[in-house]
Amino acid sequence: MDTRERLVRCTQALLWERGYVGTSPAAIQKRAGVGQGSMYHHFASKSDLALAAIQRCSLQIRSLVEKQFAGDGTVYERIENYLLSERKVLRGCQIGRLTQDPDIRANPILRQPVEETFTWVRCRMMDILQEGQASGELSPQLDIEDVAEMIMSVLQGGIVLALAAGDERPYYRACKGMLSMLNLAKNQEK
Protein backbone atom coordinates (compact mmCIF):
# COMPACT_ATOMS: atom_id res chain seq x y z
CA MET A 1 0.00 0.00 0.00
CA ASP A 2 1.44 3.36 -0.98
CA THR A 3 1.71 6.38 1.31
CA ARG A 4 -1.32 8.20 -0.08
CA GLU A 5 -3.50 5.13 0.38
CA ARG A 6 -2.28 4.62 3.96
CA LEU A 7 -3.07 8.25 4.75
CA VAL A 8 -6.61 7.98 3.38
CA ARG A 9 -7.34 4.69 5.16
CA CYS A 10 -5.94 5.88 8.46
CA THR A 11 -7.86 9.14 8.24
CA GLN A 12 -11.02 7.22 7.44
CA ALA A 13 -10.54 5.08 10.56
CA LEU A 14 -9.73 8.07 12.76
CA LEU A 15 -12.74 10.03 11.53
CA TRP A 16 -14.94 7.08 12.47
CA GLU A 17 -13.32 6.75 15.90
CA ARG A 18 -12.80 10.40 16.82
CA GLY A 19 -14.60 12.62 14.33
CA TYR A 20 -12.98 15.46 12.43
CA VAL A 21 -12.32 17.66 15.45
CA GLY A 22 -10.59 14.82 17.30
CA THR A 23 -8.45 13.77 14.35
CA SER A 24 -5.22 15.72 14.35
CA PRO A 25 -2.62 15.69 11.59
CA ALA A 26 -0.17 14.23 14.13
CA ALA A 27 -2.54 11.33 14.87
CA ILE A 28 -2.99 10.67 11.15
CA GLN A 29 0.76 10.70 10.57
CA LYS A 30 1.41 8.42 13.53
CA ARG A 31 -1.21 5.87 12.51
CA ALA A 32 -0.10 5.92 8.87
CA GLY A 33 3.56 5.71 9.83
CA VAL A 34 4.52 8.76 7.77
CA GLY A 35 6.09 12.10 8.45
CA GLN A 36 4.59 15.54 8.08
CA GLY A 37 6.36 16.07 4.76
CA SER A 38 4.84 12.91 3.28
CA MET A 39 1.35 13.90 4.38
CA TYR A 40 1.60 17.40 2.94
CA HIS A 41 3.21 16.07 -0.22
CA HIS A 42 -0.04 14.22 -0.99
CA PHE A 43 -2.59 16.57 0.59
CA ALA A 44 -2.49 20.35 0.97
CA SER A 45 -4.31 20.29 4.32
CA LYS A 46 -6.08 18.17 6.89
CA SER A 47 -9.41 19.08 5.28
CA ASP A 48 -8.19 17.89 1.85
CA LEU A 49 -7.17 14.56 3.36
CA ALA A 50 -10.45 14.33 5.30
CA LEU A 51 -12.38 14.99 2.10
CA ALA A 52 -10.58 12.12 0.36
CA ALA A 53 -11.36 9.84 3.33
CA ILE A 54 -15.04 10.88 3.44
CA GLN A 55 -15.38 10.35 -0.32
CA ARG A 56 -13.82 6.89 0.04
CA CYS A 57 -16.22 6.05 2.85
CA SER A 58 -19.13 7.23 0.73
CA LEU A 59 -18.11 4.97 -2.16
CA GLN A 60 -17.75 1.99 0.17
CA ILE A 61 -21.18 2.56 1.68
CA ARG A 62 -22.77 2.95 -1.75
CA SER A 63 -21.16 -0.27 -2.92
CA LEU A 64 -22.37 -2.18 0.11
CA VAL A 65 -25.91 -0.80 -0.14
CA GLU A 66 -26.03 -1.59 -3.84
CA LYS A 67 -25.04 -5.20 -3.18
CA GLN A 68 -27.78 -5.52 -0.57
CA PHE A 69 -30.45 -3.94 -2.77
CA ALA A 70 -29.42 -5.62 -6.02
CA GLY A 71 -29.45 -9.10 -4.53
CA ASP A 72 -32.03 -11.80 -5.00
CA GLY A 73 -35.26 -11.88 -3.07
CA THR A 74 -38.37 -9.84 -2.63
CA VAL A 75 -38.24 -6.14 -1.96
CA TYR A 76 -39.10 -6.84 1.67
CA GLU A 77 -36.25 -9.39 1.93
CA ARG A 78 -33.73 -6.97 0.43
CA ILE A 79 -34.74 -4.18 2.81
CA GLU A 80 -34.58 -6.68 5.66
CA ASN A 81 -31.08 -7.63 4.53
CA TYR A 82 -30.12 -3.95 4.47
CA LEU A 83 -31.41 -3.27 7.98
CA LEU A 84 -30.33 -6.50 9.66
CA SER A 85 -27.02 -7.14 7.92
CA GLU A 86 -24.06 -7.54 10.20
CA ARG A 87 -22.72 -4.14 11.15
CA LYS A 88 -20.66 -2.65 13.94
CA VAL A 89 -23.63 -0.93 15.56
CA LEU A 90 -21.72 0.18 18.66
CA ARG A 91 -19.11 1.91 16.51
CA GLY A 92 -21.83 3.96 14.88
CA CYS A 93 -22.31 4.78 11.22
CA GLN A 94 -19.20 6.10 9.51
CA ILE A 95 -21.16 8.72 7.60
CA GLY A 96 -23.82 9.34 10.24
CA ARG A 97 -21.14 10.11 12.82
CA LEU A 98 -19.86 12.97 10.70
CA THR A 99 -23.22 14.75 10.87
CA GLN A 100 -22.57 15.30 14.58
CA ASP A 101 -19.23 16.98 13.98
CA PRO A 102 -19.56 20.79 14.07
CA ASP A 103 -16.57 21.32 11.78
CA ILE A 104 -18.05 19.00 9.14
CA ARG A 105 -21.45 20.70 9.34
CA ALA A 106 -19.83 24.14 9.07
CA ASN A 107 -17.70 23.21 6.04
CA PRO A 108 -19.83 22.85 2.88
CA ILE A 109 -17.03 21.00 1.06
CA LEU A 110 -16.71 18.34 3.77
CA ARG A 111 -20.46 18.18 4.36
CA GLN A 112 -21.27 17.66 0.66
CA PRO A 113 -20.20 13.99 0.33
CA VAL A 114 -22.00 13.21 3.59
CA GLU A 115 -25.20 14.79 2.32
CA GLU A 116 -24.80 13.16 -1.11
CA THR A 117 -24.39 9.73 0.48
CA PHE A 118 -27.62 10.04 2.44
CA THR A 119 -29.41 11.38 -0.66
CA TRP A 120 -28.11 8.50 -2.77
CA VAL A 121 -29.19 5.86 -0.24
CA ARG A 122 -32.64 7.49 0.09
CA CYS A 123 -33.07 7.56 -3.71
CA ARG A 124 -31.92 3.96 -4.00
CA MET A 125 -34.38 3.00 -1.25
CA MET A 126 -37.15 4.76 -3.17
CA ASP A 127 -36.18 2.78 -6.29
CA ILE A 128 -36.54 -0.47 -4.35
CA LEU A 129 -39.89 0.58 -2.90
CA GLN A 130 -41.12 1.60 -6.38
CA GLU A 131 -40.05 -1.80 -7.63
CA GLY A 132 -42.17 -3.34 -4.87
CA GLN A 133 -45.18 -1.30 -5.92
CA ALA A 134 -44.67 -2.09 -9.62
CA SER A 135 -44.47 -5.82 -8.91
CA GLY A 136 -47.56 -5.68 -6.70
CA GLU A 137 -45.61 -6.68 -3.58
CA LEU A 138 -46.25 -3.36 -1.84
CA SER A 139 -49.47 -1.38 -1.67
CA PRO A 140 -49.78 1.30 -4.35
CA GLN A 141 -50.99 3.67 -1.60
CA LEU A 142 -47.63 3.58 0.12
CA ASP A 143 -45.86 6.96 -0.01
CA ILE A 144 -42.42 5.70 -1.01
CA GLU A 145 -40.62 8.98 -0.32
CA ASP A 146 -41.89 9.07 3.26
CA VAL A 147 -41.21 5.37 3.81
CA ALA A 148 -37.65 5.64 2.42
CA GLU A 149 -37.01 8.53 4.81
CA MET A 150 -38.49 6.56 7.70
CA ILE A 151 -36.34 3.49 6.99
CA MET A 152 -33.20 5.61 6.97
CA SER A 153 -34.31 7.40 10.15
CA VAL A 154 -34.92 4.08 11.90
CA LEU A 155 -31.43 2.87 10.95
CA GLN A 156 -29.66 6.05 12.09
CA GLY A 157 -31.87 6.53 15.15
CA GLY A 158 -31.49 2.89 16.13
CA ILE A 159 -27.73 3.33 16.08
CA VAL A 160 -28.00 6.39 18.33
CA LEU A 161 -30.22 4.48 20.79
CA ALA A 162 -27.80 1.53 20.79
CA LEU A 163 -24.84 3.81 21.43
CA ALA A 164 -26.69 5.52 24.29
CA ALA A 165 -27.52 2.13 25.84
CA GLY A 166 -24.12 0.57 25.12
CA ASP A 167 -26.08 -2.34 23.69
CA GLU A 168 -26.96 -3.35 20.11
CA ARG A 169 -30.45 -4.52 21.02
CA PRO A 170 -32.22 -1.13 20.63
CA TYR A 171 -30.93 -0.94 17.05
CA TYR A 172 -32.22 -4.39 16.12
CA ARG A 173 -35.55 -3.81 17.88
CA ALA A 174 -36.03 -0.57 15.93
CA CYS A 175 -35.21 -2.32 12.65
CA LYS A 176 -37.51 -5.25 13.39
CA GLY A 177 -40.28 -2.78 14.24
CA MET A 178 -39.73 -1.03 10.91
CA LEU A 179 -39.89 -4.37 9.11
CA SER A 180 -43.14 -5.23 10.91
CA MET A 181 -44.63 -1.98 9.65
CA LEU A 182 -43.33 -2.61 6.14
CA ASN A 183 -44.85 -6.09 6.26
CA LEU A 184 -48.23 -4.45 6.94
CA ALA A 185 -47.74 -2.37 3.77
CA LYS A 186 -47.68 -5.47 1.60
CA ASN A 187 -50.33 -5.42 -1.06
CA GLN A 188 -53.28 -7.37 0.32
CA GLU A 189 -54.89 -7.50 -3.13
CA LYS A 190 -52.06 -9.55 -4.61
Determine the distance from the C-alpha atom of residue 20 to the mean position of all C-alpha atoms in its chain, rounded to a whole number. 16
Domains, in order of start, for the chain = 58-184 (1.10.357.10)
- The pTM of the full predicted model, rounded to 2 decimals, is 0.89
Residue 12: the pLDDT is 95
Question: How large is the average pLDDT for residues 140-156?
Answer: 95
Question: How large is the average pLDDT for residues 5-14?
Answer: 95
Helix axes 46-70, 75-84, angle to 10 degrees: 140
Residue 189: the pLDDT is 62
Is residue 1's pLDDT more than 80? Answer: no
Question: How large is the average pLDDT for residues 175-186?
Answer: 92
Q: What is the pLDDT of residues 74-84, one digit of tens each?
A: 999 999 999 99
- Start-to-end CA span in the chain (Å): 53
CA distance 72 to 26: 45
